[in-house]
Amino acid sequence: MFPLLKYTESQVEEYVSKVTDPMVGASLAKERHDWFDLLNLISPAAYGFMDEMRGKARQARIKYYGKTVSVYAPLYIGNTCVNSCRYCDFRVQHSGTVRRNLSMDEIRREAEAVRATGIDSLLVVAGEDPRINTVAHLAEVGRLLKSMFSNLSLEVAPQTEEGYRELFKAGYEALTCFQETYDRERYKYFHPAGPKSDYDYRLWTQLRAGRAGFRQIGCAFLLGLSKWRPEAASLAAHAMYLMRECYEARVQFAFPRFCPTEGGFVPEYPVDERDVELMMLAFRIVFPQCCMTVSTREAPEFRDRIVQTAADNMSAGSKVTPGGYAVLADRDVAQFTLTDGRKPSAVYDAIRANGQEVVFKNWDNRI
Ligand code: SF4
């Protein structure tokens, strides 16, 4: 569990199992919500209120984000990694993965290909490789990309606060870091070696980035590694903590769910689509102002539906391969399998068909 929470996993499970219909109804009727409302809204009793929750979430979403959906794309600059995450095909032991780190020229070509689709917000992603992805290198990449995109986000190995200050100066303004699991024992099992085996250093990543000036800090756990309700309770507590400590930054949620990988990892606690939706609706209702993204791992129909009620941004035309947009013509070396393989234009059309506007830019770091 998130370490500042005073409840254990079994206490959370016991609580949610005893939530009643009137408790869910009372949480839905409130204007301001607390952590227990989140528990009520993710409880089994909440299944019977999903239509009402869709309406409430849609209302909250419109209040803060209007009828808009922001779009972005990830750019994988490298997939060498010194970590041993048991579920990831980029782990150091997985010999089936073709490794590649892009040169600055290749990064530019990739970025130009993304920019040509209209995307103006970029998420830079890399495996953890301290020989290559140093703060200096990431900063150089940031300076290059800052001239091409109005918004740059980062999803790389956790850095020190000082490191984040340099990266912020180089042009990155948003950070994503999945805790993977808040369960300390399971975290240890899934991350047996490498720098990522340090649970606490990873846990306080968003705090360091927020203190260094990052405008947006993203949190998530990986759905499938542990029981989802205690994980969601931890995620909510983590977010509430960050909203207090980094009040100038905006918290972003993601709900990445396992899908099959080449390495064949099978999650012990699979989460079905109904539970993902329930969780996303509950988080939108309890945290109406926070950003929420919907993963490309989800099916197109689900993504098109959830951006109308809960999520406010989504990736379009993602390639999760270093070089996947322009440089590589050979086989895919992706970190995970994409379920939504539509071209960006098809994603934009679907958003517009639902009466929403596609937002390419809602912030410009060059002004
Ligand atoms: S999840 Fe990230 S840190 Fe772990 S092996 Fe994959 S790329 Fe490396």
- In angstroms, what is the span from residue 80 Cα to ligand 1's centroid? 9
Q: What is the residue-averaged pLDDT of the chain? A: 94
pLDDT at 190: 96
Which two tokens mark 321?
A: 């391969």
Q: What span, in angstroms and rounded, lies between the C-alpha atoms of 75 and 289? A: 27
Closest-CA residue, ligand 1 atom 2, reads 127
Residue 333, C-beta contacts closer than 8 angstroms, at least 6 positions apart = 79, 97, 98, 99, 100, 321, 322
Report whether residue 85 contacts ligand 1, using a CB cutoff of 6 Å. Answer: yes
Going by pLDDT thresholds of 50, 70 and 90, the confidence category of residue 354 is very high
Indicate if the pLDDT at residue 176 is higher than 80: yes
Report whether residue 83 contacts ligand 1, using a CB cutoff of 6 Å. Answer: yes
Residue range 129-149, pLDDT digits in tens: 999 999 999 999 999 999 999
Going by pLDDT thresholds of 50, 70 and 90, the confidence category of residue 333 is low
What's the chain's length in residues? 367
Going by pLDDT thresholds of 50, 70 and 90, the confidence category of residue 238 is very high
Residue 64, C-beta contacts closer than 8 angstroms, at least 6 positions apart = 288, 289, 312
Nearest CA to 297 out of 349, 358, 338 is that of 338
- In angstroms, what is the span from residue 153 Cα to ligand 1's centroid? 18
Q: What span, in angstroms and rounded, lies between the C-alpha atoms of 251 and 55? A: 23
Q: What span, in angstroms and rounded, lies between the C-alpha atoms of 75 and 152? A: 10
Residue range 145-172, pLDDT digits in tens: 999 999 999 999 999 999 999 999 999 9
Nearest CA to 281 out of 50, 65, 66, 62 is that of 50
pLDDT average, residue stretch 207-213: 98
Indicate if the pLDDT at residue 338 is higher than 80: no
Q: What span, in angstroms and rounded, lies between the C-alpha atoms of 101 and 80? A: 7
Report whether residue 120 contacts ligand 1, using a CB cutoff of 6 Å. Answer: no
The single-letter code of the amino acid at 289 is Q
Residue 326: left if φ>0, alpha if ψ -120 to 50, beta else—which one?
A: alpha
Report whether residue 41 contacts ligand 1, using a CB cutoff of 6 Å. Answer: no
Going by pLDDT thresholds of 50, 70 and 90, the confidence category of residue 364 is confident
Q: What span, in angstroms and rounded, lies between the C-alpha atoms of 38 and 24? A: 10
Task: Tell me the three-class secondary structure of the chain, residue by residue.
Answer: CCCCCCCCHHHHHHHHHCCCHHHHHHHHHCCCCCHHHHHHHHCHHHHHHHHHHHHHHHHHHHHHHCCEEEEEEEEEEECCCCCCCCCCCCCCCCCCCCCCECCHHHHHHHHHHHHCCCCCEEEEEECCCCCCCCHHHHHHHHHHHHCCCCEEEEECCCCCHHHHHHHHHHCCCEEEEEEECCCHHHHHHHCCCCHHHCHHHHHCHHHHHHHCCCCEEEEEECECCCCHHHHHHHHHHHHHHHHHHCCCCEEEEECCECCCCCCCCCCCCCCCHHHHHHHHHHHHHHCCCCEEEECCCCCHHHHHHHHHHCCCEEECCCCCCCCCCCCCCCCCCCCCCCCCCCCHHHHHHHHHHCCCEEECCCCCCCC
Instruction: Tell me the backbone φ, ψ of residue 45, rounded to 5 degrees.
Output: -65, -25
pLDDT at 336: 60
Question: What are the sequence ranges of the domains in the chain?
Answer: 71-218+248-277+290-359
Q: What span, in angstroms and rounded, lies between the C-alpha atoms of 72 and 258? A: 21
Going by pLDDT thresholds of 50, 70 and 90, the confidence category of residue 83 is very high
- In angstroms, what is the span from residue 174 Cα to ligand 1's centroid? 19
Report whether residue 80 contacts ligand 1, using a CB cutoff of 6 Å. Answer: no
CATH code for the structural domain at 71-218+248-277+290-359: 3.20.20.70
Nearest CA to 2 out of 180, 251, 184, 161 is that of 184
Indicate if the pLDDT at residue 295 is higher than 90: no
CA distances from 60 to 57, 196, 202, 242 (A): 5, 36, 31, 21
Nearest CA to 125 out of 93, 101, 99 is that of 101
- In angstroms, what is the span from residue 122 Cα to ligand 1's centroid? 20
- Contact between 24 and 49 under an 8 Å Cβ cutoff? The reply is yes
Q: What span, in angstroms and rounded, lies between the C-alpha atoms of 197 and 203? A: 11
- Contact between 297 and 255 under an 8 Å Cβ cutoff? The reply is no
Report whether residue 91 contacts ligand 1, using a CB cutoff of 6 Å. Answer: yes
- In angstroms, what is the span from residue 135 Cα to ligand 1's centroid? 18
Atom of ligand 1 minimally distant from the CA of 191:
4
